[in-house]
Amino acid sequence: MINKKARAISAVVLTIFSIVVVLGVVFAFVSLDDGELGIRNYIAYPNVIKLGLDLSGGAYAEYSADQPEEMTDDEFNAAIEGTRRSLEDLLFSKGYTEAQVSSYGNTIRVEVPDVDDPERIFELIGRPSTLEFKEYTSSDTVNETLMTGDEVAAAGVVYKDGQYLVAIEFTDEGGEQFGEITSDLVGSQLGIYVNGELLTQATVNEAITGGSCTISGNFDYDTAYDLAVQIQAGSFPLDLHMTNSNTISATLGDSALKAGVIAGIVGLALIVVYVCIFYGLMGVAASMALIYYSCTYIFFLAVFPWVQLTLAGIAGVLLSIGMAVDANVIIFERIKEEYAAGRNMKNATSIGFKRSLGAIIDGNVTTIIGAIVLMIVGTSTIRGFGVTLLIGIVLSLFSSLVVTRVLLKCIMAFHDERHAKFYMLKRYAVAADDDISILVEAEDADARQKAEEAEAVAVGPEILPDNTGDDFTIKQAPKKPAAKPVYKYKSSRGKGGKRR
């Protein structure tokens, strides 16, 4: 029964997997200083996860905006809200999903987590300033303003033909306006002014009507980035003056994070004990996969840019770990049932995986739908949460469907039918899949007749518990557990039919 070659391969796979998982766990807790083991300053990967305001604190800056005379109160409020939103989008695009931008009267407060120096905020959102496009004739003449930054939708850095360029994208209206300006200015120079000072000037070669443009200059990445940030900052509908900035400390701080880590580890340990008690060696395979899952999940949280862990995020991770074993529980329950119904261990296993696949995929796809909607529709916090959720589900699917299966197969290579008890597999009476006595209410005598005929045809003696798993197997539960259920089912079939 036991194949020597399969055993050897299994041993290798299990060993390699164990080593990988152990390394994953070790590197989650150990940080290395410069030079140790010849490695340059390695930080344990969970410590790299960016934390939200509530856990790590951050920095805040407050800006106030003056109401321009030509604006009505309503317009001004709308402009504040517009500014608030563009700041929020800007921070999100830089990966600060948990940044909070709030407005109160004419004050806008920007809170950025995971930043210990308020100066960083200015690096992120720029020092808000005015942006103007004017014709450039000479360094001492200032011409009239042709266009302002209000119409800039976004600015960023692009790399083209070996140099860095600043790309500006206009709003629809801005695109038209810019097209008109540039067609008037072909051959002369267009100057970009920030806070009234000339930032750069460029010769207009042709009318630019595409709704976007690039500025070239002798930029390296940093100078191009700075310019893009400045232009973007100048595109806010209002002039903002910074009034106040400082650091903010975490509201929850270390205690919540520690509680989360301990809860995660204890929860994980309890789940491991739980599945091992219920499912024996199958549980061992699931536990290994679960530890692998936890390590990879945390690793992905650390490397994905849109993840900023908050209190809600920690709870989400804890739930994910609890749920990750769920698919395995479904599968193992199924394997137990299939084995109880008379299949041998290996068939029960492969059919168990196959038959639970539908439920697992359906359940997870619905959750994935939810996560994607959160990512698309939600605002900052909600979006970040969607990302966390999505990573969790995809990894857990992989872990429970692929990793556990491979591991289980490897472990099973060392055993045969005699060892079924190590997998908590028992023969017992199961309600058969087609226990029609419960399911079917015959409508009349005719239908019952037909039902019995159909049953008689379907349950011909040639149908035995199948080995392929493709066919539907007919079984009827005997009233008492049977020693050899396969044959008992057959013989008890007549009785079962009459039970109705």
Rounded Cα–Cα distance for residues 90 and 230 (Å):
12
Only one of the segments 68-76, 226-234, 306-314, 482-490 lies at the binding site for another protein (rule: CB under 8 A); that segment is: 306-314
Q: How far is the CB of 387 from another protein (least distance, A)?
A: 13
CA angle 114, 116, 117 (to 5 degrees): 130
Rounded Cα–Cα distance for residues 304 and 389 (Å):
12
In this complex, which beta carbon is closest to another protein, that of residue 19 or of residue 438?
438
Indicate the length of the chain as a whole number. Answer: 500
Q: How far is the CB of 48 from another protein (least distance, A)?
A: 22
Contacting another protein within 259-298 (CB under 8 A): 259-260, 262-264, 266-268, 270-271, 274, 278
b/e code 152-186 from CB counts within 10 Å (16+ = b): bbbbbbeeeeeebbbbbebbeebbebbbebbeebe
In this complex, which beta carbon is closest to another protein, that of residue 231 or of residue 250?
250
Residues contacting residue 357 through CB under 8 Å, at least 6 positions apart: 401
In this complex, which beta carbon is closest to another protein, that of residue 14 or of residue 275?
275
* Angular region, 41: left φ>0, alpha ψ -120 to 50, beta rest: left
Only one of the segments 5-13, 163-171, 226-234, 429-437 lies at the binding site for another protein (rule: CB under 8 A); that segment is: 429-437
Contacting another protein within 53-112 (CB under 8 A): 57, 85, 100, 102-105, 107, 109, 111
The site for another protein, by CB under 8 A, has a size of: 92
157 neighbors 97 (Cβ within 8 angstroms): no
Please choose, from the candidates 278, 275, 279, the residue with its C-alpha nearest in 3D space to the C-alpha of residue 291.
Answer: 275
In this complex, which beta carbon is closest to another protein, that of residue 186 or of residue 261?
261
Contacting another protein within 103-162 (CB under 8 A): 103-105, 107, 109, 111
Please report, to the nearest 10 degrees, the dihedral formed by the alpha carbons of residues 90, 95, 99, 104 taken in order. Answer: 10
Contacting another protein within 196-225 (CB under 8 A): none
Rounded Cα–Cα distance for residues 237 and 222 (Å):
26
Query: Binder to another protein among 29, 159, 472, 487 (CB under 8 A)?
Result: 472
Binding string, residues 10-49; x marks residues near another protein by CB under 8 A? ----------------------------------------
Rounded Cα–Cα distance for residues 289 and 391 (Å):
16
In this complex, which beta carbon is closest to another protein, that of residue 202 or of residue 382?
382
Only one of the segments 207-215, 219-227, 229-237, 254-262 lies at the binding site for another protein (rule: CB under 8 A); that segment is: 254-262
Rounded Cα–Cα distance for residues 289 and 408 (Å):
10
In this complex, which beta carbon is closest to another protein, that of residue 177 or of residue 388?
388
Query: Binder to another protein among 190, 192, 228, 330 (CB under 8 A)?
Result: 330
Rounded Cα–Cα distance for residues 133 and 208 (Å):
14
Query: Binder to another protein among 7, 438, 466, 494 (CB under 8 A)?
Result: 438
Q: How far is the CB of 435 from another protein (least distance, A)?
A: 7
What does the radius of gyration of the chain's CA atoms come to, in whole angstroms? 33
Q: How far is the CB of 145 from another protein (least distance, A)?
A: 32
Centre a 10 Å sphere on the Cβ of residue 14 and count the other Cβ atoms it contains: 18
407 neighbors 10 (Cβ within 8 angstroms): no
In this complex, which beta carbon is closest to another protein, that of residue 169 or of residue 326?
326
CA distances from 321 to 279, 291, 375, 389 (A): 18, 9, 21, 11
In this complex, which beta carbon is closest to another protein, that of residue 213 or of residue 371?
371
Binding string, residues 345-384; x marks residues near another protein by CB under 8 A? ----------x--xxx-xxxxxx-xxx-xx-xxxxxxx--
In this complex, which beta carbon is closest to another protein, that of residue 155 or of residue 360?
360
Q: How far is the CB of 119 from another protein (least distance, A)?
A: 17
Q: How far is the CB of 473 from another protein (least distance, A)?
A: 10
In this complex, which beta carbon is closest to another protein, that of residue 76 or of residue 278?
278
In this complex, which beta carbon is closest to another protein, that of residue 35 or of residue 105?
105
CA distances from 12 to 141, 249, 403 (A): 77, 50, 15
Q: How far is the CB of 22 from another protein (least distance, A)?
A: 22
Contacting another protein within 222-251 (CB under 8 A): 247-251
439 neighbors 40 (Cβ within 8 angstroms): no
448 neighbors 495 (Cβ within 8 angstroms): no
In this complex, which beta carbon is closest to another protein, that of residue 186 or of residue 438?
438
Binding string, residues 379-418; x marks residues near another protein by CB under 8 A? xxxx--x---x-----------------------------
Please choose, from the candidates 306, 314, 323, 318, the residue with its C-alpha nearest in 3D space to the C-alpha of residue 374.
Answer: 306
In this complex, which beta carbon is closest to another protein, that of residue 107 or of residue 344?
107
Q: How far is the CB of 136 from another protein (least distance, A)?
A: 40
- DSSP states of 73-115 as a string? HHHHHHHHHHHHHHHHHHHHHTT-TT-EEEEETTEEEEEEET-
Only one of the segments 125-133, 147-155, 198-206, 312-320 lies at the binding site for another protein (rule: CB under 8 A); that segment is: 312-320
